[in-house]
Amino acid sequence: MLPYAALVSDWILTALWPLIGQAGLRYYAPAPFMWAGLLIGLACLSPFMLARGRWRSLFAREVAPSLIAMGVFSAAATLIYIRALNYTTPVNAVIIAQVEVLYSTWISARYLGERPTFKQSLASLLVVAGTAMIVLRDLRTPHLRGDLMVLFTPWMYQISHVFSKKLPRGLDALTLSGGRAFYGLLAATPAAAWAFSRGTAWSWTPPALRLLAAQGVLMSSLNFVLWYAAIRGMELSKATTIMLSYPALTLVFAWALGRETIAWAQVAGLACTFAGAAWTTRLSLERRRAAETLS
């Protein structure tokens, strides 16, 4: 599959993910839902992992540490994110999650010495303003708890991305996806075991199993493969810029499915966060290109 086709397909899946996650919480507790989804995803990937020695490569000395970090941080972030959907709405969650670009800027400044420029600071203020519109609107509602939980998760995804960049370039999308699912499953097992020991919510009804299958097949398998296939075949900054628009599609899906009545604060917040996030990504790309030219 061509990188752009993979990216567009993943863009649609990512927009659907919070809607599937929130629907699944009607039948399952967050930890078992995520854990079972990763198990199904790994089962889907396993036939492909048996080819070309992909399973063996997951335990190689130069690969395993980064894959473990990817699995642990992404699993922790996903668990908190899904749990947050108990309290807030999918549209709120995807808009607030745009603060990931701020975490990316901070990590670059802290560990790579890339101090933000004045324009980057202005772009960051747009993201903060858009997020603030959502949080302030929810100050006196049950949504606030979920909003704050989502606000806490993007740095974990950023750490996961940092470790993914340390992996050898020869690894393909299936190997990366299988590694993330495998180590994420191991990391999520204690939380799921604790939930099961306390008599967690679980359902074997057909509607519940369909949502669990969607979480596993689409979000914990196909979603991973499409994303890594995209970023392996194109610049990460371009892929990130396109993916930044997925909250708009989530908003459309939520409205079309009757899951949410869209408020003005959500539309305004989405516009601000997207503008700021896209601007930040473009400035980062220009900065990297300038540095490459000088070197």
In eight-state DSSP terms, residue 51 is G
Which pair of tokens denotes residue 77?
Answer: 């972030």
Q: Examine the pLDDT at 278 and tell me if it is beyond 80.
A: no
Tell how many helices (H) and how many strands (E) occur in the chain. 15, 0
Residue-range domain boundaries for the chain: 3-290
Q: What is the pLDDT of residue 285?
A: 67
Summarize pLDDT for 21-55 with one digit per residue, the tens: 999 999 999 999 999 999 999 999 999 999 888 99
Per-residue model confidence (pLDDT) at position 129: 78
- 93-107, 202-216, 267-281, range with greatest mean pLDDT: 202-216
Mean pLDDT (whole number) for 64-82 = 93
Q: What average pLDDT does the chain have?
A: 84
* C-alpha–C-alpha distance, residues 195 and 160, integer Å: 25
pLDDT band at 292 (very low <50, low <70, confident <90, very high): low
Residue 217 has pLDDT above 80, yes or no: yes
pLDDT at 80: 94
- The answer to pTM > 0.95 is no
Residue-level pLDDT at 185: 96
What pLDDT shows up at residue 164? 79
For the stretch 93-138, pLDDT in tens is 888 887 777 776 666 666 555 566 777 677 777 777 777 777 777 7
**Segment 173-183 mean pLDDT:** 94
Structure confidence at residue 225 (pLDDT) = 93
pLDDT at 104: 67
CA atoms within 13 A on the CB side of 39: 10
Question: Apex CA 110: angle with CA 108 and CA 111, to 5°?
Answer: 70
Residue 192 pLDDT greater than 70, yes or no: yes
CB of 84 closer than 8 Å to CB of 22: no
pLDDT tens track for 135-175: 777 777 888 889 899 988 888 887 887 787 778 888 899 99
Is residue 89 within 8 Å of residue 145, measured between CB atoms?
Answer: no
